[in-house]
Amino acid sequence: MGKRALALTLAIGDLAGQLSLTDVITRLSDFADRALDEALADIYATRYPDAPLEGFSIIGLGKHGSRELNYSSDIDPIFIYDPDKIPVRGREEPSDAARRIGQQLVEALNSRDADGYVFRVDMRLRPSPEVSPVALPVEAAISYYESSALAWEQAAYIRSRAAAGDPELGRYFLETINPFIWRRSLDYGAIKNIGSVTAQIRDHYAAGQKFGPGFDLKRGRGGIRETEFYAQMHQLILAADNRTCAHRQRAMRCLRWSRPNGSMATRRGC
């Protein structure tokens, strides 16, 4: 109910020209943060009534991570937990507690009732989603991103932030893997690997590549996914070449600007 009311309010303001695009996507993203926090707090209150809300963090990726959600966006979280801080009950292992919390959290946002659902939750951005648990121990996750992560995962973490849950744990995780995201030197092999993802998208969605009826605007040739990867490649190039945080932030501002027609461009003066 809360999301529908918010979407209606924002849509009226949007159509009336009283709210900017930034206003709309920021408020929708902030609502997603609140929904996650409230759902997690409810799970803790039910399962661990006397435990502080710590040891479990939700990392936002994609449009949620960059606070760019639109009216129909899903969210792409990564669940991280600290085995030493997450509450347990009885003989429950920390890994079991984290798995149950994560599953209940997804169900709380995904489940439909008379008012619809809160958000579709896509957990496929976590490492090896077909075999990995829904929530990852923080040190194991750090070890994976430092040693085994794929090129597309580096690009995905350009748009990441600690969105909900234990903020200290979320900050620790992102600060620790920061060298994985923003390499100290320009790695042409990594850039080439990111570019190869575009070819994989084209091959996978070959049936939707021809312009005309049935063309896939999101994943087709020259579509939204290719535009994103093009921008992300240049973000990584600029950030690797300019090693300070200020330069990295400037790279983000310059390359994540889109024209009114939806295409991506480099901002003048950058």
| Other beta carbons less than 10 A from residue 90's beta carbon | 4
Q: 214 — phi, psi (to 5°)?
A: 90, -5
Residue showing tokens 């744990």: 169
At residue 254, the pLDDT reads: 46
Instruction: Please state which of the ranges 70-84, 170-184, 206-220 shows the lowest mean pLDDT.
Output: 206-220
Say what the pLDDT of residue 2 is: 82
Give CA separation, 242 vs 21, 72, 236, in Å: 30, 36, 10
Q: What percentage of the chain exceeds 70 in pLDDT?
A: 77
Asked whether residue 245 carries a pLDDT value surpassing 60, the answer given is no
Distance CA 14, CA 7 (A): 10
Bigger pLDDT: 64 vs 254: 64
| Residue 250 in this model has a pLDDT that exceeds 50 | no
Residue 179: C-alpha distances to residues 146, 152, 250, 265 (Å): 8, 15, 17, 26
pLDDT band at 153 (very low <50, low <70, confident <90, very high): confident
Given a cut of 60, whether residue 181 has pLDDT beyond it is yes
Mean pLDDT, residues 224-241? 71
> H/E element holding 145?
helix 138-147
Per-residue pLDDT for 27 more than 90? yes
Tokens of 141: 């996750």
Q: Has residue 253 got a pLDDT over 60?
A: no
Q: How confident is the model at residue 256 (pLDDT cuts 50, 70, 90)?
A: very low
What residues form DSSP beta bridges with 79? 58, 135
| pLDDT score for 79 | 98
In 3D space, the residue among 156, 198, 195 whose CA is nearest the CA of residue 177 turns out to be 156
Residue 165, classed as helix, strand or coil, is strand
pLDDT of 29-67, one tens digit each?
999 999 999 999 999 999 999 999 999 999 999 899 999
pLDDT of 235 = 75
Q: What average pLDDT is seen over the chain?
A: 82
- pLDDT over threshold 50, residue 203: yes
Question: Does pTM surpass 0.75?
Answer: yes
The residue among 95, 119, 91, 108 whose CA lies nearest residue 46 is 108
Q: What is the pLDDT of residue 179?
A: 86
The pLDDT value recorded for residue 233 is 72
What CA–CA distances, in Å, run from 92 to 86, 101, 151, 169, 180? 11, 12, 36, 21, 33
The two three-digit tokens of residue 155, written as one number:
């690009």
- Pick from 74-88, 95-109, 209-223, 255-269: least confident: 255-269
Side-chain half-sphere CA neighbours of 178 within 13 A: 12
Span 90-139, pLDDT tens digits: 899 999 999 999 999 999 999 887 778 899 999 988 988 888 999 999 99
Strand spans (E) along the chain: 56-61, 76-81, 135-137, 161-165, 257-258, 264-265
d(CA 10, CA 23): 9
